[in-house]
Amino acid sequence: MVVKVNGGSAGSCGGLVNYLEKQERGQWFSQERDGMRAGEVTPAIDGNKRNLGRDDEKFYQIIIGPSREELKHIGDDPAKLRDYTRDVMNEYARNFGKGIEGKDLVWFAKIEKERTHTHSDRAVQTGEELKGKKKEGEQTHVHVIVSRTENLSQFKARQQAGEMERKHPLKLSPATNHRATEKGAVKGGFDRTNFIRASERQFDQKFSYERKPTETFEYSRNQQHGTQAERVAEKLAVIRAESHRQEQERQAQRQAAERRAAEQQKAKEQGQNQQQQRARGEEKTQEPQQRPQQTPPDVARPKQTIQQEPPEIKRRGPRL
């Protein structure tokens, strides 16, 4: 995740608004609205200023650039990007340490799908790419224009309702180097490092994103600005952590494979048992019926001879 706060401008934001219309006209959004026109953006930003000098910066630009992995995780969904941008602007407001939120700002944003190479790109400096050429792959990012002065209409409404003790609206400059201090021209200050960390953490929590160590802001910053010993130590720590993560994944895959094999074997045995039970049931219900034997018609049946008992011989008594 790349979150940049670029320097502001002392003039109108009209030029920047027109530049951001190059890919698609309209489709601006704010803290509370979607589908806004460019004609609503410029007067709202330019008209929201109070107690600023001629050369004072009137607005700033914030660029939110999710990585390809992050875009893939959310399906490059514009609605999710708009929702996340509102969370980032809440973090931006809170980071001033003055008790304000995104609704207390005046800001407008637009999603762009393309990027071109600039003079600051290393590929352009080395001659590998031409300035102005479109970058390949997923390049979705968000441009935010935010007024330096807090929302004047809300400030006045709260003043009239007796809810505001301050007499003057806040001037919010992310360009100050002060961090949570009461010293200096700008009280409170703005901690860019904390803002970037909070924006990264907000994405992870909101979309349940498991960020790899090499994707963190801390890793990127240390690789760019740390000492050689710090860079080497962090790379080794990342390698060890990645090796441990891969071993855990392999172990989980083995356990899952063993569970699947056990479940398949159990299902196979249950199927065999059911087949055996059905077979035994069929044997009981389908016993063969014995048919009476019939004598062929051309075969004479033997006559049954009835043995008669001999007549009883009466014994005669002796003659007298």
Q: For the chain, what are the domain ranges?
A: 2-211, 212-269
Dihedral over Cα of 148, 154, 158, 160: its sign:
positive
Helix segments in the chain, DSSP class H:
14-19, 38-46, 68-73, 78-94, 122-125, 152-160, 192-207, 217-225, 228-285
Tell me the angle at which helices 217-225 and 192-207 cross, rounded to the nearest 10 degrees: 140
- Give 310's pLDDT tier (boundaries 50, 70, 90): low
pLDDT > 70: percent of the chain: 85
**Whether residue 119 has pLDDT greater than 80:** no
Q: Looking at domain 2-211, which CATH architecture does it have?
A: 2-Layer Sandwich (3.30)
Q: Give the 3-state secondary structure of residue 274.
A: helix
Q: Distance between CA 167 and CA 317 in Å, rounded?
A: 165
In angstroms, what CA-CA distances link 129 with 115, 136, 155? 13, 11, 48
Q: What is the pLDDT of residues 141-191, one digit of tens each?
A: 999 999 999 999 999 998 898 888 888 999 999 987 555 555 544 456 799
List, for residues 35-52, the tens digit of each pLDDT value.
Answer: 999 999 999 999 999 888
Asked whether 70 and 203 are in contact (CB, 8 A), the reply is yes
> pLDDT value at position 95?
94
pLDDT at 185: 43
Tell me the angle at which helices 228-285 and 217-225 cross, rounded to the nearest 10 degrees. Answer: 150
Q: What is the mean pLDDT of the chain?
A: 85
- Rounded to an integer, the average pLDDT of 286-296 is 58
| Residue count of the chain | 320
Mean pLDDT of 285-291: 61
Angle 143-147-150 from CA coordinates, rounded to 5°:
135
The pLDDT of residue 300 is above 80 = no
User: In the structure encoding, which two tokens stand for residue 141, read together?
Assistant: 């990012």
Range of weakest confidence among 124-133, 171-180, 296-305: 296-305
- Alpha-carbon gap, residue 209 to 216, rounded angstroms: 12
Whether the predicted pLDDT of 16 surpasses 90: yes
Q: DSSP H helical segments within 286-319, as ranges?
A: none
Q: What is the rounded distance in angstroms from the CA atom of residue 185 to the CA atom of residue 179?
A: 12
Whether the pLDDT of residue 294 is over 70: the answer is no
pLDDT for the residue numbered 143? 96
How confident is the model over 60-70, as pLDDT tens digits?
A: 999 999 999 99
Q: Which residues contact 122 (CB under 8 A, 6 or more apart)?
A: none
215-274 tens-digit pLDDT: 998 888 888 887 878 778 777 877 887 788 788 889 899 999 999 999 999 998 888 888
